[in-house]
Amino acid sequence: MPVVTHDVVPDGDIYIVLKNPNAKWTAPLFKLRKHATDKASYIRDKCSMDLPKLLRLGLEPYEYRIRVSSQHLITACSKFKKMLQSPWKESAPVNATSPSESSDQVPCIPAIREISTSGWNVHALVQVLNIIHGRNKEVTRGDTTLRFIADMTVIVNYYECVEAASLAADLWRERVDVPKKYGKESIVLLFISWVFSWDAMFSSMAQLVMEHGEGLEHVETNNLPIATILEKLDKKRQWSFPVVFNRLNHLRGELLQGRMGCNRKCRDMLVGRLGAAKNDMNKKFGNWDRKHKGISVGLVMSTLDNYASPKWRDPDEKGRAHSRDCSIKSLMQPTFN
């Protein structure tokens, strides 16, 4: 197997040995609902998440040996600190000369230790190591894609060096085109923003997942460690349907009791529209208050959106038409908020 060496620190005291490079796949596989179909059907999200042109992954099975400083690793990364300051095999020098084997005439040459790892995108690993060692001029600034940022973020998260990489991450954030639609890009950015505590961006991506997700069976996370976050968001999605269903029943009761709606005629129209909306949702989604697969909060909201404020004229009111926003969706909006 060909061996490639790279010096981050030419006189470093440790080698990181990367085997089976570029084997981890951080871009999730994703299925999106196919629109304009009566029954739920799905197609793969065809969004391309390629690496920069200069960083295309080769197919040859190389082994990479990257020379670094153990002191920098220990200072910046909790995981490396545990490895190098513990009885783990990574903390012992490779081919170290034992006292019985040493000679008084021959000076003992300190052996270089090794840490073995596998699967990482080699270019992303080198970039993270450059950041850890303060080699700012060597950090990629130009053609940086969301996929490559994800590859670096997965490494940062694994080796627990978020603080050391936070400044570089702020530069990465400036290059990110924030997705406005639910898909693999929003899932990847959800993970990146979680790792680096980009609260506003995380909330925005989580909202997309909550509103448009239809179940975990449509997402394969591959080597992107985001399954736990998606599980929590999906539980919230499932929890929301009984809440919406109960709120619709409560809204009907409030209208019948005269506690909502602007007047009697408006309430009568809304009660009728509310019944039609629930009937439509039962046809589309089945027992949607209990069955949660293949249903998104966005689909429920769009169904309610079809029942806009009644357009009518009350002889007792001035003006051409009923102008108050008494739609079902507006009355339900506090629930969705």
What single-letter amino acid sits at 210? M
**Residue 90 contacts residue 14 (beta carbons within 8 Å):** no
Give per-residue pLDDT as tens, 48-96. 555 444 444 455 568 999 999 999 999 999 999 998 887 655 555 655 4
How many other CB atoms sit within 10 Å of the CB of residue 279?
A: 10
Name the E strands within 203-270: 219-220
Average pLDDT over residues 297-314: 71
| Better-scored residue on pLDDT, 129 or 95 | 129
What single-letter amino acid sits at 29? L
pLDDT value for 258: 79
**Numbers of helices and strands, H then E, in the chain:** 11, 7
Average pLDDT over residues 290-318: 70
| Better-scored residue on pLDDT, 3 or 267 | 3
DSSP string, 151-205: HHHHHHHHHT-HHHHHHHHHHHHHH-----SSSHHHHHHHHHHHHTT-HHHHHHH
Calpha distance 165→172 (Å, rounded): 10
First to last CA, the chain: 57
Give per-residue pLDDT as tens, 5-28. 999 999 999 999 999 999 998 888
Domain regions of the chain by residue span: 3-34+45-94+110-225, 239-336
CATH architecture, domain 3-34+45-94+110-225:
2-Layer Sandwich (3.30)
| Better-scored residue on pLDDT, 100 or 217 | 217
Average pLDDT over residues 111-140: 90
Give per-residue pLDDT as tens, 217-276. 888 999 999 999 999 999 998 888 888 888 888 888 888 887 776 777 777 878 888 888
Report residue 126's pLDDT band, with 50, 70 and 90 as the boundaries.
very high
Q: Residue 162 class from Cβ within 10 Å (0-12 exposed, 13-18 middle, 19+ buried)?
A: middle
pLDDT value for 164: 95
pLDDT value for 66: 96
Average pLDDT over residues 166-171: 91
pLDDT value for 56: 46
pLDDT value for 118: 94
pLDDT value for 40: 58
pLDDT value for 61: 63
For residue 145, give the nearest of 162, 127, 159, 133 by alpha carbon. 127
pLDDT value for 332: 75
Give per-residue pLDDT as tens, 170-218. 988 888 889 999 989 999 999 999 999 999 999 999 999 998 888 888 8
Instruction: Name which of 119-123, 221-225, 279-283 the model is least confident about.
Output: 279-283
Calpha distance 218→29 (Å, rounded): 8
Strands 219-220, 29-33: pairing is antiparallel
pLDDT value for 207: 93
pLDDT value for 44: 62
| Better-scored residue on pLDDT, 334 or 62 | 62
* pLDDT surpasses 90 at 286: no
Calpha distance 26→125 (Å, rounded): 14
Report residue 311's pLDDT band, with 50, 70 and 90 as the boundaries.
low
